[in-house]
Chains A and B, each alone.
Chain A
Amino acid sequence: MNELVENLRRRFEEDLATIDSMETWKAVRDKYLARESGAITAELKKIRDLPKEVRPAFGQAMNALRAYAEEKLQERLSMAKAAELSSRQKHVDVTRPGFPFALGSMHPVKRLQIEIEEIFVNLGFQVLNLNEIETDYYNFEALNMPRNHPARDAQDTFYFDDTLLLRTHCTSVDVHAMETMRPPIRAVTTGKVYRRDSFDATHSPMFYQVDVVVVDEGITMGDMKGMLEVFLKRIFHPGIQMRLRPGFFPFVEPGAEVDISCIFCSGKGCSKCKQSGWIEILGAGMIHPKVLRMSGLDDSRYSGFAWGLGIDRVAILKHGVDDIRHFFENDLRFLRQF
């Protein structure tokens, strides 16, 4: 009888020693302690077949063995768990490159275009989509640039016929907005514009502009300055300085050239700003009363301002791009930098 218990104990101890994982631990537990088929459990069930007088001693010994087995298994459990976890720790060379998940790049000019539109939407502007093929009237005449106006010289134009052309600026948004919206007007448009210039490092027959128009009662040049400052600080840097100089654009009066403090030298003077500390960035002004009238607004009641700037130029300044052609050649070595 004792021999049976001792054998069982010895076998259990042998099996216990082989435990090296959760799997083997469970196997040993089930082999001896499973409810139906465990060796110890089975022996205990057989107790009814034994003569009455040996039952207590056998039961006691077997129960002691079961308690012993449970205790030993419990001791082994943490070791088995640790072994189990360490077996799942397969070495990986973490310095190998991660799989190259696909990631393209947004075109730097588009990114700025979206950023700029976002700024104006936040300032209460409506973004207008306008056609690139425009009439001479909207591109020039309604902007106070009749045929034979010298200011047209600066904008050599691609024509389709006598009246249709590729817009040379986005400024026609002034007229379209004033014709289709009622004051208060806050409208902005962005997009491609075209000039009949050959491709070189600083010229492109196509580039991007943003043009802004605000019309209401009582709009002042001070308002124009305030909004310019908000815009320029957002798009460049909160620390930049701005200055306005008198400038000439036929569709505004007074007109202004807007400079920002040189972003390369913070205004101290460098080769990029020709030692002046300032960089010319955009043209602006109070909408010419003739333009207001031509667009059907009462110039004695309403006033407004407009400005326009080249988005590519902002991109060139912000990223230090040395050649405007990079923007339209789609070299991935360029595009992936953004």
Chain B
Amino acid sequence: MKISLEWLQDYVEIRESPQKLKEDLSMIGLLVESIEDFKGSPVLEIEVTSNRPDCLSYLGIAREVAALYGRTVRKPPQKDKLTISPERIPYEIVIKDPILCPRYVALLLDGVKVADSPAWMQARLEASGMRPLNNVVDITNYVLLEMGHPLHAFDFHKLRQAKIVVAPAVSGEKIQTLDGVVRQLDEQMLLINDGEGGVAIAGVMGGLNSEISSTTTHVLLESAYFDPGSIRRTSKKLGLSTEASYRFERGADWDNTIPAIARACFLMEQITGGCIAGSLKDIYPKKKEPVRIRLNGDHANSLLGVKLEAEFIESTLERLGFQLEAQGENIWTVTCPTYRADMEVEADLIEELARFYGYQNIPATLPPSKSIGSHSPTFLVENAIRNILIGQGYSEAINLSFANEQDHREFPPLEGERIAVRNPLTEDTQYMRTSLIPSLVRSAKRNFNYGQNQVLLFEIGKVYYKGPHGAPSERNAIGILGTGGFVGQNWANPTAVYDFFHMKGVLVALLRGIRIRTFDVEPISGMTWLNPAEAAVVKISGESIGVLGALAPELQDKYKLRQVIYLAELDFDRLIPYAFPPIQFQPLPKYPSVERDVSILVGKELAYQALSRGILGLQIPELVGLDLIDVYEGEKIPPGKVSLTLRFTFQDRERTLTVDRVQGFIDTILSFLLKTYGAELRFL
């Protein structure tokens, strides 16, 4: 709301500088966003919150200023007598729906000469951000700004009958509004008609068919009160917001209808030469009562944490236009002004007291703590995973939670159905994501475009599915992406490149870091977005908890990615039950352990997992560690074979291991490997 100080001073004395006024108004809840200059006069841009429609006018702001500085409000001159007898031109007002239109006030003037409005009025309208049109329309706008009540002016001769009927529209009914747009209405919208057809959308915008023009001589003024919810619904549905609808939907003042029309009549007589031809009609089927609230001063004190004097309570509220009736010590029945659409409960009055007591004067205290703080149950695991991944070189990403059609086609979810957004912003927000992978791939691509070759990213976030009975369910997932020069690359070892085993190694570190020691990584087929030659599933106790692998070559080409991207996605929620099992301390062995490295030749097709499971299946209690430390193929190795170097760690908790015993274990293992896999010893 733009408030020109030149205009505001008509209603309240202002001694303060604009800057001081800005500060003071802001501290009572009227945030002054800026002070601009309009032709030499300061104009305040005031942000009026949606609960305070009473401040959407010069008089409204003047009331606040007067209450703030203890001054009086000067009301603008109005026409006293709004009836004539006999009525020169009879006309009729009918309200068909008194719920949606509780009050409709009208006045008919003739002898109106439409012209430009006087310069002072034009200047004030412009200073307040309104475009002058002609004197009749300008007067309705002037009164709207001055008193906050929207008025509408009809060209009376353009009405087909001398009447105004306020009734819901017929479904499908059309009206061309003042902006030239033909709008289709429904039966929940309130339409002003003349007995023949629509002439205005109530409280929103007039019809083109009854517009004031240069030839207008007879003007029917409307000053009504419409139901806020109805106006808001209509405005939203039509996508049409006007100065009038803005005020009606927030709540106008039904008792301001007559003063507003009396003020407009005064200006019409002065400026357009018009005079009353048809008396004031006030159709007001059921008188609306002002809001009454019981106020207990003790409640105010205990809610605010202050000690207010009864005298302060009374004087503050009275200055704001409330009427107080004492009901006992520190208790009142408060009658609220009808322009205060925000008054409902005692707390509303307490806020008024706080506004004028000053929020800054309420002492800051700390409530006694009676509770013990706690993180969410998954915080520990999530943070451990985050720190492990960061420690391994991965940077944390956050992507939007949306997905498009293509994402779902290219990265179909393992299970569950996607959820569609009913009113997406763009096609990229059509669905909720079912996977973290597509947006991580896009993030990698963006980084490639900026010349980054090594990209290591992870995201811990939600994915969304239709759960049982179609209800949406949210699951937490972990997505990891790695590509390019491996993190171990350096000037002494410049050629290392990220591959499958880096990703697998990170997953193992992640699982070990949350103390999951037992899991399997096995080949998986049917993952369309992964390269089938490098795709694996991670299982704990037989339950799939995620997949890893290289992005499918088709997708790599489609996304025009110049290097292979490795990806993993884990179901965080499924990891939780396994994470951080209780720890039972094992006494430290008293005797040293012994390591032996053994190189064997096996067929290339033999999976390492089969080999390692076979060895562990021998159940040699002293075998406490088995690692693969080297893999060699090439010269000196027969075709179809591969050399594996295994490192065995032996430990006897009771005694020092002798060379002979260790050799015994090795012999047992080697003869097993020879028998089962045809493995030959290459060297010890």
For A218, what are the chain B residues with a Cβ–Cβ distance below 8 Å? 302, 367
B340 at the interface (CB under 8 A from A): no
- List B442-458 residues whose CB lies under 8 Å from chain A: 443, 446-447, 450, 452, 455-458
Contact indicator B487/A100 (Cβ below 8 Å): yes
A246–B243 CA distance with the chains assembled, in angstroms: 25
- List B404-452 residues whose CB lies under 8 Å from chain A: 419-426, 429, 432, 440, 443, 446-447, 450, 452
A265 at the interface (CB under 8 A from B): no
Which of B68-76, B112-120, B392-400 has 4 or more CB atoms under 8 Å from chain A? B392-400
Binary flags per residue of B363-379, CB closer than 8 Å to A gives 1, else 0: 11111011111111111
For A166, what are the chain B residues with a Cβ–Cβ distance below 8 Å? 421
Binary flags per residue of A86-113, CB closer than 8 Å to B gives 1, else 0: 0000000000110111111111011000
Contact indicator B393/A103 (Cβ below 8 Å): yes
Closest A residue to B487 by beta carbon equals: A102
B360 at the interface (CB under 8 A from A): yes
For A120, what are the chain B residues with a Cβ–Cβ distance below 8 Å? 373
Known contacts A216-B367, A248-B50: A327-B375 contact under CB 8 Å: no
Other-chain residue from B249, B373, B395, B401 in contact with A206 (beta carbon distance below 8 A): B401
A286 at the interface (CB under 8 A from B): yes
B389 at the interface (CB under 8 A from A): yes
Closest B residue to A165 by beta carbon equals: B422
Contact indicator A254/B49 (Cβ below 8 Å): no
For B347, what are the chain A residues with a Cβ–Cβ distance below 8 Å? 253-254, 286, 288-289
For A110, what are the chain B residues with a Cβ–Cβ distance below 8 Å? 386, 396, 398
B31 at the interface (CB under 8 A from A): yes
B359 at the interface (CB under 8 A from A): yes
Binary flags per residue of A263-289, CB closer than 8 Å to B gives 1, else 0: 000000000001000000000001011
A222 at the interface (CB under 8 A from B): yes
Known contacts A184-B371, A225-B364, A248-B52: A331-B450 contact under CB 8 Å: yes
Which of A35-43, A67-75, A127-135 has 4 or more CB atoms under 8 Å from chain B? A127-135
Contact indicator B423/A246 (Cβ below 8 Å): no
A295 at the interface (CB under 8 A from B): no
Contact indicator A220/B303 (Cβ below 8 Å): yes
For B464, what are the chain A residues with a Cβ–Cβ distance below 8 Å? 133
- List A207-264 residues whose CB lies under 8 Å from chain B: 214, 216, 218-223, 225-230, 243-248, 250, 253-257
A336–B52 CA distance with the chains assembled, in angstroms: 46
A106–B394 CA distance with the chains assembled, in angstroms: 9
Contact indicator B362/A222 (Cβ below 8 Å): yes
Closest A residue to B369 by beta carbon equals: A124
B232 at the interface (CB under 8 A from A): yes
For A132, what are the chain B residues with a Cβ–Cβ distance below 8 Å? 401, 462, 474
A151–B240 CA distance with the chains assembled, in angstroms: 17
For A164, what are the chain B residues with a Cβ–Cβ distance below 8 Å? 472
Closest B residue to A329 by beta carbon equals: B446
A318–B140 CA distance with the chains assembled, in angstroms: 48
Contact indicator B429/A205 (Cβ below 8 Å): yes
Contact indicator B49/A247 (Cβ below 8 Å): yes
User: B319 → chain A, closest Cβ, in Å?
Assistant: 16
For A126, what are the chain B residues with a Cβ–Cβ distance below 8 Å? 371, 373-374
A333–B347 CA distance with the chains assembled, in angstroms: 50
Contact indicator A99/B490 (Cβ below 8 Å): yes
Other-chain residue from A100, A124, A330 in contact with B446 (beta carbon distance below 8 A): A330
Contact indicator A246/B365 (Cβ below 8 Å): no
User: B627 → chain A, closest Cβ, in Å?
Assistant: 21
User: A105 → chain B, closest Cβ, in Å?
Assistant: 5
Contact indicator B359/A256 (Cβ below 8 Å): yes
Contact indicator B29/A245 (Cβ below 8 Å): yes
B305 at the interface (CB under 8 A from A): yes
User: B475 → chain A, closest Cβ, in Å?
Assistant: 11
User: A76 → chain B, closest Cβ, in Å?
Assistant: 37
Known contacts A104-B393, A192-B401: A226-B303 contact under CB 8 Å: no
Number of interface residues of B (CB under 8 A): 96
A313 at the interface (CB under 8 A from B): no
Contact indicator B491/A96 (Cβ below 8 Å): yes
Known contacts A206-B400, A246-B28, A290-B345: A128-B376 contact under CB 8 Å: yes
Contact indicator B365/A106 (Cβ below 8 Å): no
A335 at the interface (CB under 8 A from B): yes
For B181, what are the chain A residues with a Cβ–Cβ distance below 8 Å? none
For B249, what are the chain A residues with a Cβ–Cβ distance below 8 Å? 150
Contact indicator B302/A303 (Cβ below 8 Å): yes
Contact indicator A121/B373 (Cβ below 8 Å): yes
For B426, what are the chain A residues with a Cβ–Cβ distance below 8 Å? 198
A137 at the interface (CB under 8 A from B): no
Known contacts A104-B395, A109-B398: A127-B374 contact under CB 8 Å: yes
For B18, what are the chain A residues with a Cβ–Cβ distance below 8 Å? none
A204–B402 CA distance with the chains assembled, in angstroms: 12
Which of A6-14, A22-30, A44-52, A152-160 has 4 or more CB atoms under 8 Å from chain B? A152-160
For B440, what are the chain A residues with a Cβ–Cβ distance below 8 Å? 330
Contact indicator A104/B392 (Cβ below 8 Å): yes
Contact indicator B374/A219 (Cβ below 8 Å): no
A4 at the interface (CB under 8 A from B): no
For B399, what are the chain A residues with a Cβ–Cβ distance below 8 Å? 328, 330
A83–B303 CA distance with the chains assembled, in angstroms: 83
For B432, what are the chain A residues with a Cβ–Cβ distance below 8 Å? 133
A192–B391 CA distance with the chains assembled, in angstroms: 25
Contact indicator B31/A106 (Cβ below 8 Å): no
A3 at the interface (CB under 8 A from B): no
Which of B149-157, B205-213, B348-356 has 4 or more CB atoms under 8 Å from chain A? B348-356
A153–B241 CA distance with the chains assembled, in angstroms: 12
A122 at the interface (CB under 8 A from B): yes
For A114, what are the chain B residues with a Cβ–Cβ distance below 8 Å? 383
Contact indicator A129/B378 (Cβ below 8 Å): yes
Contact indicator B302/A332 (Cβ below 8 Å): no
A82–B303 CA distance with the chains assembled, in angstroms: 81
Binary flags per residue of B14-37, CB closer than 8 Å to A gives 1, else 0: 000000000000111101011000
Contact indicator A253/B490 (Cβ below 8 Å): no
User: B386 → chain A, closest Cβ, in Å?
Assistant: 7
User: B215 → chain A, closest Cβ, in Å?
Assistant: 38
Closest B residue to A214 by beta carbon equals: B367
B229 at the interface (CB under 8 A from A): yes
Other-chain residue from B31, B360, B367 in contact with A223 (beta carbon distance below 8 A): B367
A20 at the interface (CB under 8 A from B): no
Known contacts A106-B386, A328-B400, A335-B395: A153-B354 contact under CB 8 Å: no
A247–B33 CA distance with the chains assembled, in angstroms: 14
User: B227 → chain A, closest Cβ, in Å?
Assistant: 10
B250 at the interface (CB under 8 A from A): yes
Contact indicator B305/A246 (Cβ below 8 Å): no
A254–B370 CA distance with the chains assembled, in angstroms: 25
Contact indicator B373/A220 (Cβ below 8 Å): no
A53 at the interface (CB under 8 A from B): no
A196–B421 CA distance with the chains assembled, in angstroms: 11
User: A338 → chain B, closest Cβ, in Å?
Assistant: 9
User: A125 → chain B, closest Cβ, in Å?
Assistant: 5
A186 at the interface (CB under 8 A from B): yes
B525 at the interface (CB under 8 A from A): no
Other-chain residue from A100, A197, A250, A256 in contact with B490 (beta carbon distance below 8 A): A100
Known contacts A148-B232, A254-B347, A254-B350: A330-B457 contact under CB 8 Å: yes
A332–B492 CA distance with the chains assembled, in angstroms: 25
Other-chain residue from B305, B366, B396 in contact with A105 (beta carbon distance below 8 A): B396
A111–B207 CA distance with the chains assembled, in angstroms: 56
Closest B residue to A158 by beta carbon equals: B421
Other-chain residue from A122, A151, A289 in contact with B373 (beta carbon distance below 8 A): A122
The 6 closest A-B pairs by CB, nearest first: A102-B393, A222-B305, A220-B305, A246-B29, A254-B351, A248-B49
Beyond A127-B379, A254-B304, 19 extra complex contacts between A and B, CB < 8 Å:
A102-B391, A124-B373, A128-B376, A158-B422, A198-B426, A205-B400, A205-B429, A216-B370, A220-B303, A244-B362, A246-B27, A246-B359, A247-B49, A253-B348, A254-B350, A330-B446, A331-B447, A332-B452, A335-B397
10 examples of A-B residue contacts, CB within 8 angstroms: A100-B487, A110-B386, A121-B374, A121-B375, A198-B426, A205-B400, A220-B305, A245-B31, A246-B355, A250-B51
